Amino acid sequence: MALSNTVAKLGRLVEDEVTLPTASGTVQAVSLPANCVVLAAGAVVTEAVAGSTAHAFDLSIGSADVATALNAQTASLGDILVEAFVPQAITAADTLDVVSTVSGTGTAGKVRVWAMVLDMTAPIAADEVDRDQLA
């Protein structure tokens, strides 16, 4: 079975580079469209943090943490930070936020936050429906 053009348009990677805070706090990272399912999310270190005793962050959508305790303190340039992830369906546009917990004083690092998103509003072509019902 060939991959249809309609299905190919549903999945996409959204990403944005954010500067991590030097004190505990929240930074908005990636805008998520309404009516989508976020299948996975993580971060890639583009500038390492330095000086702080500890710097960990969670990725959250609204009040739901989707990836927790990503350790920015021990990460180096190019490290990929991911954790177990439970897919999240959202009906209204939202953001994927970086919620940092920092101990000590340090310099701000940067990460490229990414999310794999399925757009559930993409139309299904009529020939797709006909073929599926005939099968």
Q: What is the pLDDT along the chain (135 residues), one digit of tens a residue?
A: 444 555 555 788 999 999 999 889 999 999 999 999 999 999 999 999 988 889 999 999 988 988 999 999 999 999 999 988 889 999 999 999 999 999 988 788 999 999 999 988 856 555 555 555 555
pLDDT at 100 (0 to 100): 93
Q: Are 111 and 20 in contact (CB under 8 A)?
A: yes
Question: Any bridge partners for residue 117, and if so which?
Answer: 12, 38
pLDDT at 6 (0 to 100): 52
pLDDT at 128 (0 to 100): 54
Q: What angle do CA 48, 96, 44 make, to 5 degrees?
A: 25
Q: Nearest-CA neighbor of 96 among 38, 19, 11?
A: 38
pTM of the model: 0.79
CATH for 9-120? 2.60.120
Give me the residue spans of the domains in the chain: 9-120
Task: Name the helix (H) or strand (E) containing 1.
Answer: none
Q: Nearest-CA neighbor of 65 among 31, 91, 102, 38?
A: 38
Task: Name the helix (H) or strand (E) containing 126.
Answer: helix 126-134
Q: Are 71 and 7 in contact (CB under 8 A)?
A: no
pLDDT at 59 (0 to 100): 94
